[in-house]
Structure 1
Amino acid sequence: MSGKDDYYNRSKQQGYRARSAYKLKQLDEEADLLAPGDTVVDLGAAPGGWLQVAAEEVGEGGTVVGVDLQRIEALDDHDVETIRGDMTEERTRHYLREAVGERGADVVASDMAPNMTGEYSLDHARSVHLARQALDTADELLATGGDFVVKVFQGEDLDAFRDDVSESFQYVRTVSPPASRDASSEVYLVAKGYTTSPVAEGDRVEVTIEEEGDEGDGIAYVDGYTLFVDADVGETLAVEVTDVKPRFGFAEPVDGAEPSA
């Protein structure tokens, strides 16, 4: 018996519904995804192994919501809400938004996988399609600064999907948890720091400096988003965005530049 098969036995001994529970544990250890009090959404949650791990980590002050087309048996030891439905249907998304609440989710996780056909290129394409559905859900539910983890099969479309994920997060890593089977082509994209900024690095905008920051920088606002600029209060000038964080960014004055956003 290989070391990877031990995860199945461990899941039975430790009361987890699936060996995949150890994948989330390892992803959490690697990327610090789950914290007490978090709100976590698990897509493709049946049979519930990831829900068990998430509930353990967020504790009584947290919220864990699982969604799947299949029925998820109640977890007696954890207070977890489950929704049976299709994430492409508005009815399911409505129930999920209600369960998460206005504050938004801290983590959206997806272990969804397609029904396997045995044709590698087709299975890869279907896995990317499911991953994009998960990204759409993350865009809808994540609070600023939240995290996203999604399973996808390796293949020609992976780099393009990763680039799309990168547009909305501070950074993205590709992780292969030890609990994944040796023969599996699955990897997980772990995206940290969801950014809802109306500007991106390299954008040029015209701003007015409205306040002075604690470090002496000027503060401007773009659709309510804070930009720190080396300029004086009252100045109106063109700037280029140099760094974007979840809640604020930095920009530098650009002489004679035409705004691009």
Structure 2
Amino acid sequence: MTRDHYYNKAKQEGYRSRAAYKLKQLDQLENVIDRGDTVVDLGAAPGGWLEVAAEEVGPEGNVIGVDFQRIDDFADHDTVETLRGDMTEDKTRKRVVDAADGSVDAVISDMAPNMSGEYSLDQARSLHLARQAFETALELLDSGGDFVVKVFEGPDVDDFRADVEEEFQYVRATSPKASRDESSEVYFIGKGRLTAPVRPGDELEVEIESVGDEGDGIASVDGYRLFVSGAEEGDTVAVRVEDVKPNFGFAQRLDRD
């Protein structure tokens, strides 16, 4: 077996796996992890992604790693907590939720199946693991939080991406340079977890409660602010939602289309 560039680099720089550079490159691309964040790493063994996440969050952050394989303790990262369990089991996911204790800023997953050598089977298992990670991310992430997940190219991946796009401001697909040339893995980066009660294209009737600094009317939908152009305080108007951000959205009056 040849030792490639990133394998050697990991040995020289003291990372547990070459995969550390994948997370570094993904984070440089989309700024997934910030100082002070709480990060949950799914399928974390042997710990390369945990090391990078711990460096990025700093001493005021918190990193939780879970894997069914044992993860050796970190002598130089006090912010890392590890859990042993199978992410396809509800009891393991509950332990992750409990360990996170509320606020989570990023969920990252480099989970891969035990390879059978039969690509169609391995790809289907990879997609199943990616969906497990996605469901965990939806359960854990704060509004505006980020998600990184690996999946093997193949059937139903486009459908999976569409599902992720429903829940985040935008989704980027990429293969970092640190992935092996022959690898079929792709990473989806979901930016800005949407917890809004509305989605683009929704049509609803709202009452304008106030007017913002820019002159737009402001309605409230289950506590979520919706800006409506050309509406005055006290108006009740039918609108179509055009754009959704984690904490506010924009809508157009249907009678002005």
Q: How many residue pairs get matched? A: 255
- Secondary structure of the 1:33 match is coil
Residue matched to 1:19: 18
Structure 1 segment 220-239 matched on structure 2, within 5 A: 220-230=219-229, 231-239=231-239
Residue matched to 2:99: 99
Residue matched to 2:124: 125
* Aligned-residue offset at 1:256: 10
Q: Which amino acid aligns with 2:149?
A: V
Checking the alignment, whether the CA contact within 8 Å between 2:88 and 2:129 is kept in structure 1 is no
Q: Structure 2 CA distance, aligned partners of 1:256 and 1:88?
A: 49
* Aligned-residue offset at 1:10: 1.2
Q: Percent identity?
A: 65
Q: Structure 2 CA distance, aligned partners of 1:90 and 1:190?
A: 24
Q: Does 2:213 align with 1:214? A: yes
Q: Does 2:72 align with 1:50? A: no
Q: Which amino acid aligns with 2:98?
A: E
Q: Structure 1 CA distance, aligned partners of 2:192 and 2:233?
A: 30
Which structure 2 residue ranges, 5 or more long, are not aligned?
none
- Secondary structure of the 1:255 match is helix
Checking the alignment, whether the CA contact within 8 Å between 1:238 and 1:256 is kept in structure 2 is no
- Secondary structure of the 1:210 match is strand
Q: Structure 2 CA distance, aligned partners of 1:31 and 1:210?
A: 36
Counterparts in 2 of 1:224 and 1:98: CA distance versus 1, 3 Å: same
Residue matched to 1:65: 64
Q: C-alpha deviations, 1:164-203, integer Å up to 9, x for none? A: 1000011111111011011110010111011011111111
Q: TM-score, normalised by structure 2?
A: 0.95
* Aligned-residue offset at 1:87: 2.2
Checking the alignment, whether the CA contact within 8 Å between 1:106 and 1:142 is kept in structure 2 is yes
* Aligned-residue offset at 1:94: 2.6
Which structure 1 residue ranges, 5 or more long, are not aligned?
none
Q: Structure 1 CA distance, aligned partners of 2:23 and 2:238?
A: 45
Residue matched to 1:10: 9
Q: Structure 2 CA distance, aligned partners of 1:256 and 1:33?
A: 39
How big is the alpha-carbon RMSD for the aligned residues of Structure 1 and Structure 2? 1.6
* Aligned-residue offset at 1:125: 1.0
Q: Structure 1 CA distance, aligned partners of 2:39 and 2:75?
A: 18
Q: Structure 1 CA distance, aligned partners of 2:40 and 2:110?
A: 11
Residue matched to 2:108: 109
Residue matched to 2:139: 140
Checking the alignment, whether the CA contact within 8 Å between 2:147 and 2:191 is kept in structure 1 is yes
Q: Which amino acid aligns with 1:180?
A: S
Q: Which amino acid aligns with 2:244?
A: V
- Secondary structure of the 1:113 match is coil
Q: Structure 1 CA distance, aligned partners of 2:22 and 2:239?
A: 44
